[in-house]
Chains A and B, each alone.
Chain A
Amino acid sequence: MSDSHNNIEHFDNEAGKMGMWIFLFTELFLFGGLFLVYAVFRTKYSADFHAGASELNSFIGTLNTVFLLTSSMTVAMSLTAIQKNNKNLALFLVSVTIMLAALFMMNKYFEWSHKFEFKIYPGSSVLKNMNRGELLFFGLYYMMTGLHALHVLVGMILLSINLVKIKRGVVNMKRYLLLENSALYWHLVDLIWIFLFPLLYLIT
């Protein structure tokens, strides 16, 4: 108990990490609401959801999964690198993570614009003439991947800030809470995708 007494001047790494975890819980429940909606509509319209899922390109989905999983590893490695005081390697690994995230977003952009070409977007006449379940499937698809893509963007910004701070030595071997928390955030983005991928692309 002796170290439980912390005043403001004392930098408390553990507290920062715990705060981040609790924030991640809220993110989890934010997406959780959407997963609940998905679950309800999937039970109600399972045939339509099959049809909807088969219209998504599972190759792009798989590719994006590989990008995100790999980026999750590189960001975890960058933390190891900074802990071992290997600044250049950390910089390289964070850059790779941002690049993979950019690839993910590019893929997503092509995927969405492809759908838009076929006039599949919320409120479109094509969608309104589809089966009710398919309409809801695409509504969920846009809402879930859209919210997820927003998180990817935020993650990219966070990691870019880290890039600068590592370069300046503000994030270093002794103080790496920012990188640690950004990595945790990035892993959450990955976690959400791990569930989104089979639910949207695979269950056909």
Chain B
Amino acid sequence: MTDTGSRTYVSYLDHQGRFKGIFSWLLSTDHKKIGLMYLNAVIVFFFVAVILGLLMRIELLAPGRTIMGPQTYNGMFTIHGVIMVFIIVIPALPAVFGNFFLPILIGAKDVAFPRLNLFSFYLYILGAILGVLSQFAGSGPPDTGWTFYVPYSAQSATNVIYALTAAFILGFSSILTGLNFIVTIHRMRAPGMTWFKMPLFPWALYATAWIQVLATPIIGITLLMVIAERVLNIGFFDPALGGDPVLFQHLFWIYSHPAVYIMVLPAMGIVSEIFPTFSQKPVFGYGAIVFSSLAIAFVGSFVWGHHMFTSGMSYWARWFFSFTTFIVAVPSAIKVFNWISTMYGGSIDLKPPLLYAIGFIFLFMIGGFTGLTLGSLASNIQVHGTSYVVAHFHYIIFGGMGFAFFAGIHYWFPKMFGKMYNFTIANISWVLVFVGFNVFYFPQFIIGFQGMPRRSFDYLPQFQTGEVISSIGSMVLVAGLFLMVINLFRAVYKGDPAPANPWKGVTLEWQIPSPPEHENFETIPEIKNKPYFFGNTSTN
């Protein structure tokens, strides 16, 4: 496929459009370049947040004050949360891999609105900088937690407004990305690619995009109301003025629970691409995966109340939200069965992407099951606000979305950069990350169950064993992450050239040269087969 005949092949990395030098990147509307810029930004902010997390782990090595006081610790976990949630996990998968691969997977030359895409990248950067700035500027880092619960967030003297504005702007960026993807999928599929011939990653992005578009405005207006509360004393959430703090929690979680599905649906999409490729077998139950994505997006929009079981909701509301929480576990489980069955009987090639994808299933299962403990009314009372919750959502968000991100980067790396990384180092870093992760978070389940509160810089001596094991795990994890990133960075500059199709994949991105050309396809392909058709790769 690399032989393009009379035309000379120029990789998108070297392509110069209207602008030269650095501006050929910064002002590029090429979806691949925008995807890479997002990738760089995500890596930078990820390490900022990882370092904050590591500092918290060091603080928790011993009871009492170790390296920082309570106020600093409060700022740390708030900014760690804001950066991780709003700057990394919500945008990462759609903005990096979605931007880069959605158009390629559906056989298009770019997204529907390339300039809007660049605009949303700059909104993202603006929001991200504002978020980090809130840590340093003015009157001290915000100390409300990433959830900004009122009435405290309306009263705290710290830089809450910076963080709120940052989240607002990042939300807007996320909306525009989602909008772009929906229109792209509707209007720009290659001829012959009907909806049910579309690969699963675009399907996942489609379901995600709808949540981004419909849920994000609610958090936007909610954050505006908190700003109004602080600036104008408007009283919506202030009990002294007749307002209702629980209403804030409703509004906040109407967005922020579906936001979990913004994180995890594209993750599921990525592993749905990886399993067929490394099993050399069509995905098991294509239709079931598609419909479970849509079902998760829909049902997941109506489970928000399970964050508020102890907030004094009505009995029937608690009953309802607990019920829907259990319902939403069903489509998630269906997907797990599909992935496992895809591997069953396939010719499995245990390369790093597959290792991460298997790690994803393992960790996501633990996260999912502990989610059911939290979703049932009685046990929720016991573990609410403990480190059990912290462990649960890190298993879902880091173990789920994070591992899928690592799987995705190892899977698509040769396509994105045209280079191949070192497999041995990738495998070693996988072991470190996987083992470190479990050693880090599993003890949190146990001490959480015993009553260790979350968001506390101090604890009772009886939790020290668990906390120390956790902290050791965190260091192994961070070492693994560094090794992985170094391996990938080295490969960008010194790696061997990658072939067009190193994994024998059959989706469209593997049919074009690595790295792709500026507009992806010389001629738009005509789609005849279902995706993941391994029967005769030459005709696909």
A61 to chain B, nearest CB (A): 21
* B182 cross-chain contacts in A, Cβ below 8 A: 18, 22
Secondary structure type dominating chain A contacts: helix
Chain A residues, Cβ within 8 Å of B192: 1
B297 on the interface (CB 8 Å rule)? no
Residue in B closest to A131 when the chains form the complex, CB atoms: B242
Q: Which of A117-151 contact B (CB under 8 A)?
A: 122-123, 128, 131-133, 135-136, 139-140, 142-143
What per-residue 1/0 map shows which CB atoms of B82-117 lie under 8 Å from chain A?
A: 000000000000000000000000011110111010
The reply to whether the CB of B232 lies closer than 8 angstroms to some CB of chain A is yes
CB distance from B475 to the nearest CB of A (A): 42
B236 at the interface (CB under 8 A from A): yes
Residues of B within 8 A of A41 (CB): 236, 242, 244
B251 and A33 contact, CB distance less than 8 A:
yes
Q: Are A5 and B186 in contact (CB under 8 A)?
A: no
Tell which of A14, A22, A34 has the most Cβ of chain B within 10 Å: A22
What residues of chain A lie closer than 8 Å to B233, measured between beta carbons? 122-123
In whole angstroms, how far apart are the Cα atoms of A40 and B236 in the complex?
11
Tell me if A122 and B222 are in contact (CB < 8 A).
no
**What's the Cα separation between A40 and B245 when bound, in Å?**
12
Q: How far is the CA of A28 from the CA of B179 in the complex (A)?
A: 14
Contact between chains at A32 and B187 (CB < 8 Å): no
Fill in one digit per residue for B105-136: 1 if any A CB lies within 8 Å of its CB, else 0: 00111101110100000000000000000000
Q: Write the nearest CB–CB distance from A131 to chain B, whole angstroms.
A: 8
Question: Interface code B219-258, partner A: CB below 8 Å = 1, 0 otherwise?
Answer: 0111001001000111110000111100100110000000
* Cα–Cα, bound, A30→B175 (Å): 12
A25 and B214: CB pair below 8 A? yes
Which residues of A (23-41) have their CB < 8 Å from a CB of B? Answer: 23, 25-34, 36-37, 40-41
| B225-A143 in contact (CB<8A) | yes
Indicate which residue in B189, B217, B232, B519 contacts A27 across the interface (CB closer than 8 Å).
B217
With a cutoff of 8 Å between Cβ atoms, the chain A residues found around residue B228 in the complex are 122, 139, 143
B214 and A29 contacting across the interface, CB-CB below 8 Å:
yes
B241 contacts A132, CB within 8 Å? Answer: yes
Q: Which residues of A contact B78 (CB under 8 A)?
A: none
Chain B, interface SS category: helix
In angstroms, Cα B114 to Cα A7, docked, is: 11
When A4-B187, A19-B183, A139-B235 are in contact, do A32 and B218 touch as well, CB less than 8 Å? Answer: yes
- For B189, list chain A residues within 8 Å (CB): 4-5
Contact with B along A26-66 (1 / 0, CB 8 A): 11111111101100110011000000000000000000000
Instruction: Say which residue of B213, B232, B243 sits within 8 Å of A25 (CB atoms).
Output: B213
B191 contacts the other chain (Cβ, under 8 Å)? Answer: yes
Q: How far is the CA of A77 from the CA of B40 in the complex (A)?
A: 48
> Is B194's beta carbon under 8 Å from chain A?
yes
Contact assessment for B221 and A30 in the assembled complex, using a CB-CB cutoff below 8 Å: yes
Q: Do B221 and A19 have beta carbons less than 8 Å apart?
A: no
Known contacts A26-B213, A32-B217, A34-B221; A136 and B187 CB within 8 A of each other: no
Asked if B188 CB lies within 8 Å of chain A CBs, one says yes
Contact B251 A36 (CB under 8 A): yes
In the bound complex, CA of A28 to CA of B113 (Å) = 22
Shortest CB distance B169–A (Å): 14
Residues of B within 8 A of A135 (CB): 235, 241-242
Q: Range of interface residues on chain A?
A: 35 or more
Contact of A37 among B114, B183, B217, B236 (CB under 8 A): B236
Chain B nearest CB, measured from A33 CB (Å) = 4
CB neighbours (8 Å) of A19 from chain B are 112-113, 116, 179-180, 183
User: In this assembly, does A111 line the interface, its C-beta being within 8 Å of a C-beta of chain B?
Assistant: no
CA distance A19 to B175 in the complex (A): 11
The closest CB in chain A to the CB of B187 belongs to A15
The minimal Cβ–Cβ distance linking A12 to chain B, given in whole angstroms, is: 6
Whether a CB of chain A sits under 8 angstroms from the CB of B428 is: no
Residues of B within 8 A of A4 (CB): 187-189, 191
Chain B 295-322, CB-CB to A under 8 Å as 1, else 0, gives 0000000000000000000000000000
Residues of B within 8 A of A15 (CB): 112-113, 183, 186-188
Q: Which residues of B contact A136 (CB under 8 A)?
A: 235-236, 241-243
Would you call B109 and A30 a contact (CB within 8 A)?
no
Interface residues of B in 163-221 (CB under 8 A from A): 175, 178-180, 182-183, 186-192, 194, 213-218, 220-221
- Of A33, A44, A45, chain B has the most CB atoms within 10 Å of the CB of A33
B524 within 8 A of A: yes
- Closest A residue to B112 by CB, please name it: A15
CB–CB A40/B247 < 8 A = yes
Say yes or no: B183 contacts A18, CB within 8 Å.
Answer: yes
Most B CB within 10 A of own CB, among A37, A41, A131: A37
* Nearest CB in chain A to that of B241: its residue: A135
Which residues 324-357 of B sit at the A interface, judged by CB distance below 8 A?
Answer: none
Give the docked Cα–Cα distance between A5 and B186 (Å): 10
Please state if B175 and A26 are interface contacts (CB–CB under 8 Å).
Answer: yes
Residues of B that sit less than 8 Å from A by CB: 107-110, 112-114, 116, 175, 178-180, 182-183, 186-192, 194, 213-218, 220-222, 225, 228, 232-236, 241-244, 247, 250-251, 519, 524
23 A-B residue pairs with Cβ-Cβ distance under 8 Å, sorted by A, are A1-B194, A4-B189, A5-B190, A7-B108, A8-B114, A15-B112, A18-B182, A18-B183, A18-B187, A19-B112, A22-B183, A26-B216, A30-B217, A31-B221, A32-B217, A37-B251, A40-B244, A41-B236, A45-B242, A122-B232, A123-B233, A131-B242, A135-B242
Q: Contacts A19-B116, A33-B222, A122-B233 given; 16 further ones with Cβ under 8 A?
A: A1-B192, A4-B189, A14-B187, A18-B182, A19-B113, A19-B179, A26-B179, A37-B236, A40-B244, A123-B232, A123-B234, A131-B242, A136-B242, A139-B235, A139-B236, A142-B234
Enumerate the 9 nearest inter-chain pairs by beta-carbon distance, A residue then B residue, closest first.
A132-B242, A33-B221, A29-B217, A123-B233, A30-B217, A122-B232, A15-B187, A139-B234, A26-B217
> Which A residues have a C-beta under 8 Å from some C-beta of B?
1-2, 4-8, 12, 14-15, 18-19, 22-23, 25-34, 36-37, 40-41, 44-45, 122-123, 128, 131-133, 135-136, 139-140, 142-143
